Amino acid sequence: MKEIRAIRGTQDILPGEVERWQRVEASARDVFARYGFREIRTPIFEDSEVFVKGTGDTTDVVEKEMYRFEDLGGNDITLRPEGTPPVVRAYLQHRLGQGRSIERYFYSGPMFRYERPQKGRYRQFHQIGVEVLGAESPRVDAEVITMAMQWLAELGVSSLALKLNTLGDEETRVAYRAALVAAQAARLDELCSDCRRRHLTNPLRVLDCKKPGCQAVIAAMPMIQDSLTPAASRHFERVRETLLDWNVEAEIDARMVRGLDYYRQTVFEITSSALGAQDSLLGGGRYDGLVERMGGEDVPGVGFASGVERILLAMPDEVAPAVADVFVIAFDERSVDTTHRLVHDLRRAGVRALTHAYGGRSKRAQTKAARRSEASWQLVVGPDEIAADRYTLKHMADGREEVVSGSELPAIAAQLVRVTATS
């Protein structure tokens, strides 16, 4: 039979690796909580409208990357390619912003895009992201950016760089779009076929094209900065000043537009030179107007999404923690029952205890397994120990021993383990 394998672009996260994932998630929870963010969990699939309207039907994501299908009831379903539209959908459905409060959410989970898989780019990948709804202040842009930098720094991600740009407000975009269309129209024959299409549907997206032929044309196109309204300029200035004030270094990248249509005003990206071609760890920006487009009132928003796989690639390697604190070995077949009873008592007392005294495994085989488990403590249970009701807990690193009775064992082991864990 043909070997059954995981689908191209998806990955198993195995024990040993999953601990690093948990660390990234725990750190996000910890850092985001300091900034007042609470978790929100939305379904993994939605009505396709959520993304067609939310992400935008002229984006690459919606045009060619969605896992979109009709379910058995004839519904048009999409596996979420990103987190922001579902959060906005939930915000509207449950009327979360009533009273005009500032809402702060974070989410964590798998996203799906039919992209060409390569290192750092997958078809099922994982994002941790945040959204702030109901605040238009540029300080909130700076707050979200600062939080992202803080989190990645705490995770030990190396060589971080923050890139910042503004796309201006709605008025800016209308003016800039007109300027771009005129400039592109003059050199249409030099653009690739994708860009010629984008020129008609979404001329701003041409700026995102990586093809060398298009790059030359793009370099000569007008800059959004020349179309900024005074209000949009002021907003961006405030974001920059606030970041400066908080000692967060940012590099202005005047050509950065980001792939999603809903961005207005501030956009940003955090990269790490520890990564290869796919060096973007996290991206985000302000999306004033999105809530309204999805059927709500005019509620401003700002957020970011990070790619967990890429953060892990840029994080230092760590030794996976031991799977047990105490490993209990049965000396012979007669000692197996007591061995399992002691293991059971240890677990009930909160100690991570493990044994391999199954199916007649020899003491030697069990000792090997104990070494592999890297448990800090070992306990050998034999007829002599059982008869005397005296058991020796041996610390594997320094050889120190603690002799205890069967009834003392759980409490003493629990205490020793706590001390070992904190020392």
Binding residues for ligand AMP, per CB under 6 A? 82, 113, 115, 120-122, 125, 127, 259, 280-283, 305-307, 309-310
Residue with tokens 């044309």: 217
Is the Cβ–Cβ distance between 51 and 61 less than 8 Å? yes
The CB-of-122 to ligand AMP minimum distance in angstroms stands at 4
Q: What does the DSSP 8-state code read for residue 277?
A: S
Of 45 and 125, which CB lies nearer to ligand AMP in the complex structure? 125
φ, ψ for residue 47 (rounded to 5)? -60, 130
Of 55 and 373, which CB lies nearer to ligand AMP in the complex structure? 55
Of 120 and 203, which CB lies nearer to ligand AMP in the complex structure? 120
Tokens of 98: 């009533």
Of 203 and 307, which CB lies nearer to ligand AMP in the complex structure? 307
DSSP for 60-125, please give it: HHHHH--EEEE-TT--EEEE-S-SHHHHHHHHHHTTTTTTTPPEEEEEEEEEE-----BTTB-SEE
Is the Cβ–Cβ distance between 111 and 309 less than 8 Å? no
Of 152 and 180, which CB lies nearer to ligand AMP in the complex structure? 152
- Nearest one of 328, 350, 323 to 406, comparing CA atoms: 328
The CB-of-1 to ligand AMP minimum distance in angstroms stands at 31
292 CB neighbour count, 10 Å cutoff? 12
The CB-of-375 to ligand AMP minimum distance in angstroms stands at 36
Of 37 and 327, which CB lies nearer to ligand AMP in the complex structure? 37
Order of strands across the sheet with 76-79?
A: 45-47, 76-79, 67-70
Is the Cβ–Cβ distance between 275 and 314 less than 8 Å? yes
Is the Cβ–Cβ distance between 192 and 211 less than 8 Å? yes
Of 129 and 203, which CB lies nearer to ligand AMP in the complex structure? 129
Return the CA Rg of the chain.
28
Long-range contacts, stretch 56-62, CB < 8 angstroms, 24+ apart: 56/202, 56/260, 56/261, 56/262, 58/198, 58/201, 58/202, 58/205, 58/261, 59/202, 59/205, 59/259, 59/260, 59/261, 60/205, 60/259, 61/113, 61/259, 61/260
The CB-of-289 to ligand AMP minimum distance in angstroms stands at 17
The CB-of-268 to ligand AMP minimum distance in angstroms stands at 10
The CB-of-3 to ligand AMP minimum distance in angstroms stands at 25
The CB-of-95 to ligand AMP minimum distance in angstroms stands at 26
Of 86 and 410, which CB lies nearer to ligand AMP in the complex structure? 86
The CB-of-384 to ligand AMP minimum distance in angstroms stands at 57
Of 106 and 122, which CB lies nearer to ligand AMP in the complex structure? 122
Q: Report the residue number whose CB is nearest to ligand AMP.
A: 307
Beta 160-166 vs 251-252: how paired, if at all?
parallel
The CB-of-305 to ligand AMP minimum distance in angstroms stands at 4
